[in-house]
């Protein structure tokens, strides 16, 4: 399981990131200023660091100078949205640069992309009694292989990446089928129903009136 250090002085944001990354299968620790982050990095090994720039004591620009020789990938996560700040961050060695506010789903995608670039991607995650190997696309429930269709598998991944979020049918369709939603909910409903029945998720993936579905954890 990949270990990620979140260096963010706003605890509400830090906690939100930690919850979502943990749900996605990562192990996370939080540092709230530059000195604390440097202490963590000295003692622990991390596969990725999410780094705010405007930090107390040591800012992100200074801290990345310390991190760079360690060859740990860094994603800047900051409110500094001026293009000159982005260029500076990337030139200092950051692998990516995300400005606040951001969508969690985008952050997860950026994290996965950077880890994949370094061959450190998460290949397994658990959801209740379900284990998913994203390399082999094998899904097991209580150690028994469950055969899902391609769309059912993509639906499972989408819900797992968006726990406790109400997903509109049009978004589900566009994400899984890769096409614009034309207002026919039958396709989405049919596949969701079959997927959750196969995996025993009838009481976990619930219908949201006039919207779509939500995975409750």
The pLDDT of residue 119: 73
* pLDDT tens digits, one per residue of 51-95: 999 999 999 999 999 998 888 999 999 999 899 999 999 999 999
Phi and psi (nearest 5°) for 182?
-105, 10
The pLDDT of residue 134: 80
Longest dimension (CA), the chain: 55
Q: Model-level pTM? A: 0.60
- Quickly tell me which residue has 């994290």 as its tokens: 111
Intervals of the chain under pLDDT 50? none
Per-residue CA distances from 183 to 118, 150, 171 (Å): 40, 22, 11
The pLDDT of residue 43: 86
Sign of the dihedral through C-alpha 163, 110, 176, 143? negative
The pLDDT of residue 32: 96
């Amino acid at each position: 399981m990949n270990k990620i250090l979140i260096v963010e002085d706003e605890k509400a944001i830090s906690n939100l990131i930690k919850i979502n990354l943990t749900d996605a299968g990562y192990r996370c620790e939080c540092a709230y200023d530059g000195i604390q982050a440097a202490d963590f990095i000295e003692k622990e090994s991390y596969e990725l660091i999410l780094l705010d720039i405007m930090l107390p004591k040591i800012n992100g620009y200074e801290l990345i100078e310390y991190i760079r020789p360690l060859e740990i990938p860094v994603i800047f996560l900051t409110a500094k949205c001026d293009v000159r700040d982005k260029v500076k961050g990337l030139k200092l060695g950051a692998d990516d640069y995300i400005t606040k506010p951001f969508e969690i789903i985008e952050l997860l995608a950026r994290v996965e992309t950077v880890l994949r670039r370094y061959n450190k991607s998460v290949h397994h995650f658990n959801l209740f009694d379900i284990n998913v190997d994203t390399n082999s696309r094998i899904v097991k429930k209580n150690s028994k292989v469950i055969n899902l269709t391609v769309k059912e598998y993509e639906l499972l991944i989408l819900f797992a990446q968006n726990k406790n979020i109400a997903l509109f049918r049009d978004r589900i369709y566009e994400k899984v089928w890769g096409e614009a939603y034309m207002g026919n909910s039958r396709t989405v409903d049919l596949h969701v129903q079959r997927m959750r029945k196969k995996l025993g998720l009838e009481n976990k993936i619930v219908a949201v009136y006039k919207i779509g579905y939500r995975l409750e954890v």
